Structure 1
Amino acid sequence: MADDEGARRSPRAARVLAGLRRLTSESDRYVEAVGAAHGSAPTDLAAVSLVVEGEARGVEHSPGSLGRGLHLSSPATSALLARLERAGHVRRTRSAEDGRRVVVEVTDTARDLGRAVFTPLARELDRVLAGYSDEELALVERFLGEAGDAVERSRRAAGGPAS
C-alpha cells in the first residue's frame, strides 16, 4: 500500500496489518482445503455457516437473504441450495412465523460437517489463546471488534449490503 496513510504507519502497525492479511489468507486456504477434503466448496461452507449464525441469533434465512449474504445471483443461490440439499446439509421449510415464507435450515449432517471442519482449527486457536493473559486478550478483543467495525464501514462505503 503506497498511500499517504501507509507511509505514516508505524512499523509495528504495518506488521499488525500484515499479520491480519496473513490470517485472512490462511483462513481462506484452510476452509478451501478442509472443505475439499470433506467434499464441500468454500461457498457451501459459507452458506451453512451463515444459516447457523442466523439460527444462533434467532434469524431465519430465506433463499433470498442467503443469496444476498453470500453475494450470489438468484440462479446461483438456487444451484447452491440444490447442491446442499442433495448433500443433506440443508432443507427448505416453511417459516414458523409466516407460513408463506420459505426458510433454509441446517441439518445435523451439516452440523457434523462443521464440527469436523472447524474443531481442529478451534483447538489450535485455543492453544494460541492460552498463551495470553486476560489483559492481553481484552486488548486483542477490543482491537478485533474495532477492526471488524472498520471493515464493515468500509464495505458499506464501497456499496456493500448491510449485514
Structure 2
Amino acid sequence: MEKQGPAMEIVHLLRAVVVDLGLLNAEFAARNGMHPTDVRALICLMDALRADTPLTAGLLGTRLGLNSAGTTAVIDRLERLGHVHRVRDGHDRRRVHIELDERAIALGTAFFGPLIDRTVDLLTGYDERELAAVRGFLEGVRTAAG
C-alpha cells in the first residue's frame, strides 16, 4: 500500500518538477540540435566554470557516467556546434581542458534565464531559515539519489 501524507505529497511534487525540467531540457536540446546528454555536459561545464574548476574530458566523462568514446563523441558534437573548445593546460601540455564558449552561455541564458529569474524571485520571499530548509532538503534528495 502506498504511503500517504504531506511527505508523499512533496515527493510527488518533486517528481513532477523533475519531469517538467527534463522536458524543458529535452526541448532545449531539440531546438539546438543537441542530444540530451550534450545538455547535461553543458551543465557540468557551467558548474565547473562557476566553481573555477577546469574540466578535462576524463572528469567530464566521469560526471556524465560515460566511457571515453562516449565522452569524446559528446565533446566533438558540442565543439562542432561551437559550444565548447579544447584548450591545452598551460602547465601540462598533455592535459586538455574543455571550456565553454560564450555563445553556449548566451544560448542557455536566453532559454533558461526566465525560469531562473522566476525561481530567484520566488526564493526572495523566503527568510534565511526557510532557505536553509529548502537547501537542506534538496541536498538531502541529491545525496539519496546519488
Q: TM-score, normalised by structure 1?
A: 0.78
1:104 is paired with a residue of what secondary structure? Answer: strand
Cα separation, 2, equivalents of 1:138 and 1:56:
21
Cα separation, 1, equivalents of 2:131 and 2:49:
27
Aligned to 1:14: 8
* 1:58 equivalent in alignment to 2:55: no
* 1:129 equivalent in alignment to 2:123: yes
Cα separation, 2, equivalents of 1:44 and 1:141:
27
Deviation at 1:131, TM superposition (A): 4.5
Q: Where in structure 1 are there 5+ consecutive unaligned residues?
A: 156-163
Q: Is the contact between residue 35 and residue 117 of structure 1 (CA under 8 Å) also seen in structure 2?
A: no
Ranges of 4+ aligned residues in structure 1 off by more than 6 Å: none
Aligned to 1:26: 20
Aligned partner letter, 2:46: V
CA RMSD of the aligned region, Å?
A: 2.0
CA distances 1:65-109 after superposition (whole Å, capped 9, x unpaired): 111111122222111111111111111111134222111111111
Correspondences of 1:81-160 after superposition (within 5 Å): 81-151=75-145, 155=146
Aligned partner letter, 2:7: A
Deviation at 1:112, TM superposition (A): 1.0
Q: Where in structure 2 are there 5+ consecutive unaligned residues?
A: none
Deviation at 1:130, TM superposition (A): 4.3
Q: Alignment length, in residue pairs?
A: 146
Q: TM-score, normalised by structure 2?
A: 0.86
1:128 is paired with a residue of what secondary structure? Answer: helix
Aligned to 2:67: 73
**Match 1:42 to one of 18, 21, 36:** 36
Percent same amino acid among aligned pairs?
Answer: 33
